[in-house]
Homo-oligomer: A and B are copies of this chain.
Amino acid sequence: MNVQFKNAKILKTRDDHGFEIVDGELWVKGNEIFYIGDGKDAEHTDCQDPIVWENPIDCEGNLLIPGFKNAHTHTPMTFLRSYADDMPLQDWLTKQVFPKEAQLTKEDVYWLDILGVMEYLTSGITSNFDMYLFPVENAKAFRDCGFRSVQTSGINNFSYSVKEVEEHYLAINEMGELNSFILGFHAEYTTSKEIMQGIGELAHKYKSPVFLHNAETKREVAECKERWGMTPTALTDALDLYRFGGGGYHMVHMEEADFEIMKKRNLFAVTNPCSNLKLASGIAPIKRYLDENIPLAIGTDGPASNNALDFFREMYLMTALAKVREEDASCVPAEEVLYAATAGGAHAMNLTDCDRLAVGKKADLVMIDLNQPNMQPENNLVKNLVYSGSKSNVKLTMVNGQILYKDHQFRIGFDPKEIYDRANAIISRMN
């Protein structure tokens, strides 16, 4: 499909993490951005193929932005939304989450993923970095919706072997342009040294980054230090897991030496502010990461611990929580948040072709409705997005050149009502 967006405001990302907004047109040819400009200089007679353009989309002055990259999630946990809230973390995990997850089938995971994709699209999220059981089924569900997805492994002492992870790595990286796989494991506190070393060997063999849950809770870090005499960051670095980079999800409770390792290895901190609040884990040191030039990305975490998949809420909290943590209303400016939500996430997920709106980049983009009261007046559109933006402003979400969501309607090939019924049936069926 070839699409011409006309009469748009277009958000352009600068390398210094700033943004510029230009008025004009953005044309999508196939799955790529083909042209950005005022439309007058666009002859393009040099093309080999004659281009067939669809009816142009009049953006009515609305804003095109790069899609949000949800850099940490467990999508199929949609079935546990509002199932077990307002409980202590250990009870939540051991009495509610684990016993229900044990009853999930591959087919369940597929349908629960579709529900998650729908929610992502309503929030302007165009790709996810997903860790869950049945990674191949996950990858297929996302692909079947036309959604871009990166899987990582949640291998631990109770699920999967290193050999199976290698199979997932190879299978998913072969699946096609919408799917990829980056190595990882669940977390230090659930995973033996042997498994971590096995993942390290795969990382060296395939030159892959490695990601894991890291420093989510104080207790996790304290117990790791008791076991190994060092933090999870130091331990995983000592095991030589980061030769090709990677990073951690959550990254709340860091020690001084951890920042040095992150800088040395160019590790990403993927922050999950809503989940860290709801599970009472803490507030991540975002200002420090920025001060150290440690790259940042944002994730929703799974819908059982959030409970939404709403990037506007995450963006707001990334900066607002930093402000109250540091007692400094000036820290973590909106521009850094929007950069992390778009380019930062893309870089963490090795989706460098999806990081910004520019010619030759993949057409993963969102139209933001500015003609709503929360976007007015237009004093500063980037700050409006981060501080007052809402899912209600998402007018269109395009992934890989395909419009998957427009004017509150999904175009993913599934009937929403059927997906809701399936999700309700899955949780109702369980003991």
Contacts and interface: CB of A to CB of B under 8 A. Distances in A.
B330 A278 contact: no
Contacts of A82: 379-381, 383-384, 387-388
A391 B374 CA distance: 11
A387 B122 contact: no
Contacts of A320: 274, 277-278
A397 interface: no
B277 A376 contact: no
Contact of A324 (B283, B329, B373, B376): B283
Interface string A80-98: 1111011111001000000
A427 interface: yes
Contact of A308 (B87, B388, B417): B388
Interface in A365-399: 371-374, 376-381, 383-384, 387-392
B374 A122 contact: yes
Interface in A136-166: none
A313 interface: yes
A331 B88 CA distance: 9
A19 to B, nearest CB: 13
Contacts of A426: 377
Contacts of A328: 88, 280
A387 B329 CA distance: 26
Contact of A377 (B78, B308, B391): B78
Q: What is the oligomeric copy number?
A: 2
A338 B330 CA distance: 31
Contact of A280 (B278, B326, B427): B326
B424 A374 contact: no
Contacts of A92: 329
Contacts of A319: 86, 278
A81 B283 CA distance: 26
Interface string A293-305: 0000000000100
Interface in A52-108: 78-83, 85-89, 92
B85 A115 contact: no
Contacts of A282: 324
Contacts of A391: 374, 390-392
A277 B374 contact: no
A267 interface: no
Contacts of A308: 374, 387-390
B81 A427 contact: no
B374 A310 contact: yes
Which of A282, A283, A383 gathers the greatest number of chain B CB atoms within 10 Å?
Answer: A383
Which of A78, A115, A122, A329 gathers the greatest number of chain B CB atoms within 10 Å?
Answer: A329
Given A329-B92, A377-B81, A379-B82, A323 B388 contact: no
Given A282-B324, A313-B313, A377-B79, A86 B329 contact: yes
A68 to B, nearest CB: 15
Given A81-B387, A86-B330, A377-B424, 5 more contacts: A79-B377, A122-B392, A283-B324, A376-B420, A377-B426
Interface of A: 78-83, 85-89, 92, 115-116, 118-119, 122, 274, 276-283, 303, 306-310, 313, 316-317, 319-321, 323-324, 326-334, 371-374, 376-381, 383-384, 387-392, 416-417, 419-420, 423-424, 426-427
Closest 9 CB pairs of A and B: A277-B320, A82-B383, A308-B388, A119-B373, A307-B387, A118-B373, A86-B333, A82-B380, A280-B329
